[in-house]
Structure 1
Amino acid sequence: MSATSREDPVFAAVDLGATSGRVITGRVGPGELVLTEAHRFANVPVRLPDGLRWDVLALYQGMLDGLRAAARSGPVASVGIDTWAVDYGLLDADGSLLGMPFHYRDDRNGPAAAKVLAGVGARELYEVTGLQHLPFNTVFQLAAHRSTAQWGAARTLLLMPDLLVYWLTGTVGAEVTNASTTGLFDTRAGRWSDALIGGLGLERTLFPPLREPGSRAGTLLAQAADFTGLAPDTPVTTVASHDTASAVAAVPAREPGFAYVSCGTWSLAGLELDAPVLTEESRAANFTNERGVDGTVRYLRNIMGMWLLEECRRTWARGGHSPGLGALLADAARARPFAAVVDPDDPVFLAPGDMPSRIDSVLARTGQAVPDGPGGYVRCVLESLALAHRRTLRRAAALAGRELTHVHLVGGGSRNELLCRWTADATGLPVTAGPAEATALGNVLLQARAHGLVGDLGGLRRLVASTQELRHYAPRGDLSAWDRAAERLEAARG
C-alpha cells in the first residue's frame, strides 16, 4: 500500500457491524488509498424483558469518540456512515427516538412474518421487491412492532445508518441501498412501494425521501461539531449505507463475469447485474435483488457466515477453553476432510447460543458423527461455508444467465486462508481474496467520488486493485471430493 501525502483529503468512514464499530480515516490521492483505524468500540446488544435490542446510544457515543479521534489526524473533508441492514428506529412528532431499536435476531420476527405473508402472498411480495425471504426483513419486523404502544406515537422510520445521520445533521432521509432491503421498496421503479405500504396498513409518511450514494445529507449540528472537534461545516455524505453495498463497490474486479462473496458475520454471495431477476425460479431459490451503487443490482443470497465460527469460539470461551484462531485453524487443516458437513442456513443456527451443541444436533439429525475436538468443528464450519458459496454462486449464475469466471472474496473472511482456498477448490474457480476492509474502502471512496477525486465505479475498483494487498488462490485438483460432499449435504437437506 503506497504512502499518501499529508495534503490528501481525509475522509472519515463510520462502519458499524454486528459485533463492533469502527471509525476509519482514509486518505485518497492520485493512485493512492490508505486507511487508518482511528477508533474501535464494541457493539453489545442488550436483552430487555421485551426482546433483544441494539444499544444505539452507546453506538452513537462510540461514533462521536471515533470522529474526535479522526479529527486529530487532520482536517476531515467528509463523514460517511454504513451499518448492517433491515433494523430501524422510530421517531415521534418531536423527532425523539421511541425506545431502543430491536435486533434482527430477536425471536418476535417468525410469527410476524407468517402474519404478513397471510395477507400478501410471497409471490406477490417478490414480484415487487425482489427480496429474499428472511424472517427479520423490515416488513416483518414492522408487523411485530405495530402491536406496541410506541407504534401509535411513531411519525418517522429511520434505518440504522439514517438514524445516526439524523443525530449528526438533523436531516431525515433513507439511503437507497439500505431501503432496498426492507421489503417495502419497488425494485423495478427504484422507489418506495406505495401499493405495498398502503396494502399493509402502514402510513406512507413514516418513510422519508430516498437518497442516492454520493449525495450530501447535511452538515454537522453544533453539538456534534463541538464534541468531535470537526469543523461545523463538515459535510455528512450519503454513502452506500448498507455495509454489503459499500463492500461490493470496493470489489477489485478488473474482469467481467465476476462473482463476489462479502464474508463476515454473514456471507453475501452473488453477482452484480444491471437489472433484477424476478422470476418464480429466483423466488423459489430465495435470491435477493438489492440496490448497489450507480443503479446496479446486487443479486445474492445471505448465507450464515463466520457467525457459526465466532459463536463456537464464544461458547468454548465461556467454558474456559479459548484457543486462539490461529491454533484452531491449524487444527482444522489437520482434521479429516469432509468428516461432517452442515447447511449453514439451517434456522437452528440463527440465534446466539451454544453453537457446537447445535451443530451436534444437526449432525445427529442427518446421520453424521460429531467432530473430534474444536479443530473438527472449525473444519466442519469452513468446509460447509465453502460448499454454500459454491451452491449459491452456481445457482445465481444459472438464474441470471451468466457464466462465472472469477470469485472475489472480500471482508474479514478474506483473511481466513482455509476458507479462501476451499472456496476456490469447491467452486473450481480462481479466488482473489481481499481487501479485508472492503466496506470501509467503499465508504471512503464514495465520499471521495462525491468530492471529485475518483471517477466511475470501474475507476474506483481499479484504484482498490492497484493499492490494496490481495491474495490469489487457484483451484487444486479435481472437484470429485467436493462433488461427493455436496451430494451428501443435499441428501441430508432433503
Structure 2
Amino acid sequence: MKKYIAVDIGASSGRLMAGGKQDGKIQLEEIYRFENEIKGENGSYFWSIEKLFNEIVNGLKVAKQEGIEECTLGIDTWGVDYALIDAKGNRIQEVYAYRDERTKTAIQDISKKVSLEKIYKKIGIQFLSFNTLFQLYVHDKEELAKTDKILLVPDYLYYRLSGILISEKTNASTTQLLNLETKEYDGELLKLIGVERAQFATLIEPGEVIGPILEPLRKQYDLPKCELICVASHDTASAVIGVPGVEEHFAYLCSGTWSLIGVENMIPIATQESFRKNFTNEWGAYGTYRFLKNIMGLWLIQEVRRTLGNKLSFAELVTEASKIKPFQFLIHCNEDCFLKPENMVLEVQNYCRNTGQSVPKTSGELARCIFDSLALTYRKILGEISSITGHPVDCLHIVGGGVQNELLCQLTADVVEIPVVAGPVESTALGNIVVQMISTGELRNLKEARNMIMDSFEIKTYQPAVITNLEEAYQRFNQLVSMDK
C-alpha cells in the first residue's frame, strides 16, 4: 500500500495522519499529534512557527520508526497569516496571528482610499479584518521593504522542508489579493498596501509535485524518503474536498473552531447581493470555488470551557445543554466582541443582558445559548445561499470535529429543516490525502475520491424534526442580527 502523510494544523493542535488505499477503501491513522496555540507578546499575538516546523520533523521521525520508509506528504493549515523571508531565505520576524488586534480599523481605513465594492467585484472575497490584505496594509513598512518573499504559513512550512518557494492557490485566495479575472495577484491592491508581485512566489495548483525533503534534513533526523505534493493547503479547501457530497445541490459545513458554511461552484459569484451579504469565493481544487461565509464556530464553546477552568469536557457540556429549554438565550455569533475576548462567559452574558434577554448563568445555559445561536445562524446563511445561487439546498453535509456533537447536529437538522449528513470527522486530513492520491494516479478524480470516502468512513444522517416555536425564535434571532449591523 502506498503511504501518504497529511500534515494538518489547526488553531489549537496539529497532527500527522498516514493514509492509503486498501481493499477499495481509504485507510487513515493518526501517527503523531501536537499542540498549537497563539502566544501573547508585548500586546500582540503570534504563532510559534518554528515549533510547528519542529513538530512536523518529530512526526516524520515517528513515521520512520513505525516503518514508513517512503511516502508523499502534503500540508494544510489555516489561511491569511504569513511569514516574511529576506533575500538570504531567513525569516524576518514572528508570524502574527489573525486574532491580533492591529487590523481593527484597517477595513475602514482602506475604504477611504478605494471602494470596498470595487475590491469585492475584482477579488470576490468576504471582508474580514484579519485578511492578509489588511494585515499587510498595517504591517511595519521597514520590515516589508526588507522582505524578499511573503509566504503564507503552509507555504513557509513547505519551504523549510524543501527549500522551494511556492504560493498555493487555495490559500493565496484568502489573502483577498487574487484577481478573479486575471487569476493573479491584483496590481492595484498590491500598490495600495505597499508590496510588489515579486514578493510573492509563483502560484501553483493543488496536486502539483513540489519536490523531495531536503537531503541534509532527512539524513540529520533519519526521516522517510518523502516527496512533497502541493495539496489544497487552506484547511477549509482540504475539508471541502473531503466532503462525501453526491447530491446535486448539497451544502457543506466545516465545523471546528470556525464554522465555514457554503456550496461548491464552478464559477465565482461576485454580485452586489453577495457583496452586501459578505459571501466569499475562496478558490478550491480542480477549478472550483468555495462560495461560503465564515461564522465564529466552536471557538465560542471552547472559550467558554476555558473560562470555566476546563472543569467539564465538551461531551459533558453537550449533556448539560441538552437539559436546557431551547432558544431562551441567543447571540449574534459573528459580533466582534466574541473574536478574542478575555472572558467569553462575560461577553455572552453581557450580550444577552444588553439586548434585553435573560442571562445564561450555568454551564448548560451558556452551552445551549451557543448551540442554539449557531443552528439559527446556519439557517440564515443557507437561506441567503439559496437566494443568491437561485436553487434550494437539498442537504447539509457537516464535517470536522463538530460531527461529534450529536445535539448540535440534530438541532441543526431541525432548524434548517433539511437532512444533515454528518461525517467524516477527519475530512481535512482526507482531503489532503486524496489530492496526493489523485496526483500519483491512485485515484482518478474528485468524484471517485468522494464516493470512496462515503464507503470508507462512518456517516450518520439526521432527519429534521418539527420545532414548535422555531419561527418565533428565528424572528428574534434576526432582530438581534439587524441590531448589530
Tell me the distance in 1 between the aligned counterparts of 2:221 and 2:100. Answer: 33
2:342 is matched with 353
Report the counterpart of residue 214 of structure 2 in structure 1. 221
- In the superposition, the TM-score normalised over structure 2's length comes to 0.97
Matched-pair contact (CA < 8 Å) for 2:136–2:193: no
Q: Is the 8 A contact 1:273 1:299 kept in 2?
A: yes
2:241 maps to a residue whose letter is A
Deviations 1:285-337 (A, max 9, x none): 010001111110100000000000000000001xxx61222222111101111
Given that 1:247 and 1:441 are in contact with CA atoms closer than 8 Å, whether structure 2 keeps it comes out as: yes
Query: Could you tell me the percent identity over the aligned residues?
Result: 37
Q: Alpha carbons of 1:368 and 1:73: their partners in 2 closer, same or farther (altered >3 Å)?
A: farther
Give 1:369's match in structure 2, choosing from 316, 337, 358.
358
Amino acid aligned to 1:120: V
Matches for 1:26-425 after TM superposition, within 5 Å:
26-29=19-22, 31-49=24-42, 51-71=44-64, 72-147=66-141, 149-232=142-225, 234-317=226-309, 322-425=311-414
Q: In the TM superposition, what whole-angstrom CA distance separates every residue of 1:75-108 from its partner, at most 9, and x where no partner exists?
A: 3320100000000000011010011110000000
Q: Which residue of structure 1 lines up, in the alignment, with residue 455 of structure 2?
A: 466
Give how far 1:29 is off: 3.5
Distance 2:199 2:208 in 1: 21
Do the aligned partners of 1:187 and 1:290 also contact (CA within 8 Å) in 2? no
Contact 2:159–2:165 at 8 Å: present in 1 too?
A: yes
Contact 2:315 2:405 in 1 (8 A): no
Partner of 1:490: 478
Does structure 1 conserve the Cα–Cα contact (< 8 Å) formed by 2:8 and 2:76? Answer: yes
Determine the C-alpha separation between the residues in 2 that align with 1:387 and 1:455: 38
Kept after mapping to 2: 8 A contact 1:363/1:369:
yes
Over 3 Å counting, the alpha-carbon distance change for 1:172 and 1:20 in structure 2 is same
1:163-221 Cα deviation digits (max 9, x unpaired): 00000000001100001110100123322222322344321211111010000112111
Supply the AA of the counterpart residue of 1:47: G
Q: 1:12·1:76 contact (CA, 8 Å) conserved in 2? A: no
In 1, Cα distance between equivalents of 2:62 and 2:224: 14
AA aligned opposite 2:127: H
CA RMSD of aligned residues (A): 1.3
1:288, 1:299 within 8 Å by CA — same for their partners in 2? yes
Q: How does 1:422-433 map to 2 (within 5 A)?
A: 422-433=411-422
Secondary structure of 1:218's counterpart equals strand
* Partner SS, residue 185 of structure 1: coil
Q: Quick check: 2:63–2:224 contact (8 Å CA) kept in 1?
A: no
Partner of residue 4, structure 1 = none
TM-score (norm 1): 0.95
The 2-side partners of 1:231 and 1:336 are apart by 54
Equivalent in 433, 443, 448 of residue 432 of structure 2: 443
CA gap of 1:175–1:30, structure 2 versus 1, over 3 A, is: farther
Q: Take 2:59 and 2:391, find their aligned partners in 1: how far apart are those partners?
A: 42
Cα distance, 1:227 vs structure 2: 4.2
Question: Partners in 1 of 2:373 and 2:389 — Cα distance?
Answer: 24
CA offsets, 1:376-406, max 9 Å, x none? 1101101111111111111112111122101
| CA distance 1:214–1:230, change in 2 (3 Å) | same
Which amino acid in 2 is paired with 1:157?
Answer: I
C-alpha distance in 2 between matches for 1:229 and 1:305: 39
Report if aligned partners of 1:274, 1:295 keep a CA contact under 8 Å in 2: yes
After superposition, give the CA deviation of every residue in 1:233-281 in whole Å (9 maximum; x if it has no partner).
x210000000000000010111110000001000000000111111111
Q: Deviations over 1:118-138 (max 9, x none)?
A: 222100110111010100000
Distance 2:112 2:266 in 1: 32
Seen in structure 2, the aligned counterparts of structure 1 residues 210 and 342 have a Cα distance that, compared at 3 Å, is same
- Structure-2 separation of matches of 1:421 and 1:48: 41
CA, structure 1 residues 394+228, in 2 after alignment: closer, same or farther (shift >3 Å)?
A: farther
User: Following the alignment from structure 1 to structure 2, what is the Cα–Cα distance between the partners of residues 55 and 82?
Assistant: 16
Distance (Å, rounded) in 2 between the aligned partners of 1:293 and 1:92: 30
Which shows bigger deviation, 104-113 or 81-90? 104-113
Q: CA contact under 8 A between 2:71 and 2:224: conserved in structure 1?
A: no
Aligned residues: 481
Bigger drift between 479-488 and 449-458 goes to 479-488
Gaps of 5+ in 2: none
Structure 2 counterpart of 1:23, from 8, 16, 22:
16
Query: What's the CA shift for 1:30?
Result: 5.1
Q: Secondary structure at the match of 2:130?
A: coil
Distance 1:30 1:88 in 2: 40
Q: Is the 8 A contact 1:70 1:76 kept in 2?
A: no
The CA deviation string for residues 148-170 of structure 1, in whole angstroms up to 9 with x for no partner, is x3222111000000000000000
